[in-house]
Amino acid sequence: MATIINGKETAGKKRLEIAAEVKSLKARGVTPGLAVILVGNDPASRTYVNNKEKDCSECGIVSEEYALPEDAKESEVLELIDRLNAAEHINGILVQLPVPKHISEEKVLRRISPRKDVDAFHPENVGKIMLGDYDFLPCTPSGVMDLLDEYGIRVEGKSCVVVGRSNIVGKPQAMLLLHRNGTVTICHSRTKNLAEVTKGADILIVAIGKADFIKADMVKDGAVVIDVGMNRRPDGKLTGDVDFAKVSEKASFITPVPGGVGPMTRLTLLKNTIKAARLQKGI
């Protein structure tokens, strides 16, 4: 039976460290500030934003929410970003995705100053991640790496398979594993013989958004399985992309959903906001 990788517990412990760091910064006259922009009334987005604001409050980071209606014009969002880019008390800017279809996600992400891009989605920051010389890391991939470290799971020399090639998780996750000297394969909807590829993984990271998609016969005995998925079943319960009950009988380590990667994603946001404050204040 697999060891459960407890992201909730790990994030809780590390938030105490972050709170201590924020206290130290405040003693030097610096209070990290995060601005969160939410466009529309998507329930999942609202939940995420509420959780992020709660995390900030617990750690002493100032969080400002800017909630815009669903029909807000693209120009309004861009003008708001411009104001926040210029605001000295705001160190990090986050636009909760997805945005309504009439707003260009690309324009929005490019408008955020790279120095305040705590999601690490700006092309400049994406390029730095590719080179391995970065200021900020995308929140979910970074959270995954922190979990691997917390549980003493080495990447070097391992066969690492990432299922999903999104710009938010799959691609940057592959780069972070590569920087740790893992041998990395990215799978996607056009991958042939997917089960054969996933069965070769020492470390399997799944981020495709399909409930219980990865079955036990797709996983190697003793593999480390990281489930980034977050799906809601018809009965309202949350589930990941991995069939947890069956796969946990084969894996050596596995993340649950919820309580696995999610809390670590939010933790990275706090870390990035503090780093942005340090960089902007020259500390």
Phi, psi angle pair for 17, to nearest 5°: -65, -40
Catalytic residues, by residue number, are 52, 96, 119
How far, in Å, CA of 91 to CA of 84, rounded? 9
Torsion of CA 210, 216, 217, 222, to 10 degrees: 120
Task: Enumerate residues 6+ apart whose C-beta is below 8 A from 178.
Answer: 184
Taking the CB of residue 237, how many other CB atoms lie within 10 A of it? 10
Q: pLDDT of 64-100, one tens digit each?
A: 999 999 999 999 999 999 999 999 999 999 999 999 9
Check for a shared fold between 29-113 and 139-261.
Answer: yes
Rg (CA), the chain: 19
Q: Stretch 145-154: mean pLDDT, rounded?
A: 98
Question: What are 21-51's pLDDT values in tens digits?
Answer: 999 999 999 999 999 999 998 888 898 899 9
192-208 pLDDT tens trace: 999 999 999 999 999 99
The topology (CATH level 3) of 139-261 is: Rossmann fold (3.40.50)
Q: How far is CA 120 from CA 1, 148, 176, 188, 281, in A?
A: 36, 21, 13, 22, 19
CATH of the domain spanning 29-113, picked from 3.40.190.10, 3.40.50.10860, 2.40.40.20, 1.10.10.60: 3.40.50.10860
Domain ranges of the chain: 29-113, 139-261
